[in-house]
Structure 1
Amino acid sequence: MPESTGVRGVKSAARTVALLELLADRGDRPSRLDELAEELNVPRSSMYQLLQTLVDCGWVRCDTTGSLYGIGIRALLTGTSYLDSDRHVRMVRPYLDEASDALGETIHMARLDGSDVVYLATRESHEYARTISRVGRRIPAHATALGKALLAERPADELPLSAEPLPALTDNTHTHRADLLADLAAVRERGYSVDREETVTGIVGFGFALRYDTPATDAISCSVPVHRLTDDHAARIVSVMGEIRAKIETLLPPASGATDWR
């Protein structure tokens, strides 16, 4: 457990968080007691007690046999509370609707969290099937338009990247730092990022950092299938999304007196 505040971590709390994150990461794949104990290097008896406590509290659910475990409904309630209490998410949502109506494509809002971006809001296009993005989903920042827009706001020596090779989601994902840095330099020059089938094959994304924080932690993007992306449509996407960003930044200047979350 990181001790970034200088306060000694509580082992039981760290273990609980690690378990919940592991179950959440597995999604619809239920886990057995032995699997969880081995994955987290926790004695089987201790893991059983922890699971039963979390089941009783609603944070973990189990099947009718009592042998399979998954994330519980309390996690959803907490996640929803996070979104509802965040003034930036609340204020940006109507502009995602505006962008969606204007472009007819999928529009996202995400936040940088370590080396990943986490999707906070999505407006799906009705023209093509859902991609891998959804609210709460984590994606490596270097592989997405959203993430690259935010990484470009930071100096090269402060980028929150994992060790090389960087994880690849498609054959087009940058896996070498030098290639990514060259791309980020182009992002700074253009003022927006482009994900050329780096997250999902067949999908191109355009990302725009929202500079109401310094450095920016939130971004919006527009995703479009390659077969729908003409030069004129790309130019319209950049124009509309640039206007949406300007509206949001005008509405949400750096706030004095507001809670400054770390």
Structure 2
Amino acid sequence: ILEFLHATQRAIGIGELAKGLNAPRSTTYTLVRELVGAGLLEMAGDGNRVYFGKKLYLYGMAYMRGNDLLRRGRQEVDTLSRETGETSELCMLQSGRYTIVHSSPGTRPFRISSATGLQIPLPWTASGRLLLA
């Protein structure tokens, strides 16, 4: 369920979720109800759609604070951006895609703009093609 929601990047109806997972509707409703009760999912919009809950954000923030590699990586990216004036990004590889986990804007007039947390296929960007080389 979490993977499917992450892939769709939007709140969806439970029926659509069940169909996308190729799972029985009743099972999907039961699992969603449990995840909502645990705070991992929240009902969205008119109450007929579901998306990530605040608790997942808090877990993610704790992960970011507690992961030494990410902490040091963010510091290096910020330093690189400050020293060069260019926008710099820290990316992680996962399942043939990369995810921008931190971005530090440059001071120059031309900047790139990427959403933190967005998964991007490797061939779509210059940095992705560099990782493939």
Q: TM-score normalised to the size of structure 2?
A: 0.84
Q: Which secondary structure does the structure 1 equivalent of 2:31 belong to?
A: helix
Letter of the 1:31 counterpart:
I
Structure 2 counterpart of 1:112, from 93, 99, 104: 93
- Shift in Å at residue 129 of structure 1? 7.0
Q: Deviations over 1:180-213 (max 9, x none)?
A: xxxxxxxxxxxxxxxxxxxxxxxxxxxxxxxxxx
Cα separation, 2, equivalents of 1:47 and 1:22: 12
The alignment-based identity, stated in percent, is 30
Cα separation, 2, equivalents of 1:63 and 1:115: 30
Q: Deviations over 1:218-252 (max 9, x none)?
A: xxxxxxxxxxxxxxxxxxxxxxxxxxxxxxxxxxx
User: Aligned residue for 1:24?
Assistant: 6
Structure 2 counterpart of 1:56, from 37, 40, 50: 37
User: Aligned residue for 2:120?
Assistant: 139
Cα separation, 2, equivalents of 1:110 and 1:79: 16
- Shift in Å at residue 125 of structure 1? 3.6
Letter of the 2:105 counterpart:
E
- The reply on whether 1:81 has 2:25 as its aligned counterpart is no
Letter of the 1:78 counterpart:
Y
Q: Which secondary structure does the structure 2 equivalent of 1:69 belong to?
A: strand
**Given the superposition, is the C-alpha separation of residues 129 and 98 from structure 1 closer, same or farther in structure 2, using an over 3 Å criterion?**
closer
Cα separation, 1, equivalents of 2:54 and 2:80: 32
Aligned length, in residue pairs? 132
Query: Map of 1:123-134 to 2, 5 A cutoff?
Result: 123-125=104-106, 127=109, 131=113, 133-134=114-115
- Shift in Å at residue 130 of structure 1? 6.2
The ranges of structure 1 where at least 4 consecutive aligned residues each deviate by more than 6 angstroms after the TM superposition are none
- Tell me, yes or no, if the aligned pair for 2:121 and 2:128 is still in contact at 8 Å: yes
Cα separation, 1, equivalents of 2:56 and 2:24: 24
Query: Map of 1:177-192 to 2, 5 A cutoff?
Result: none
Q: Which stretches in structure 2 are left out of the alignment for 5+ residues?
A: none
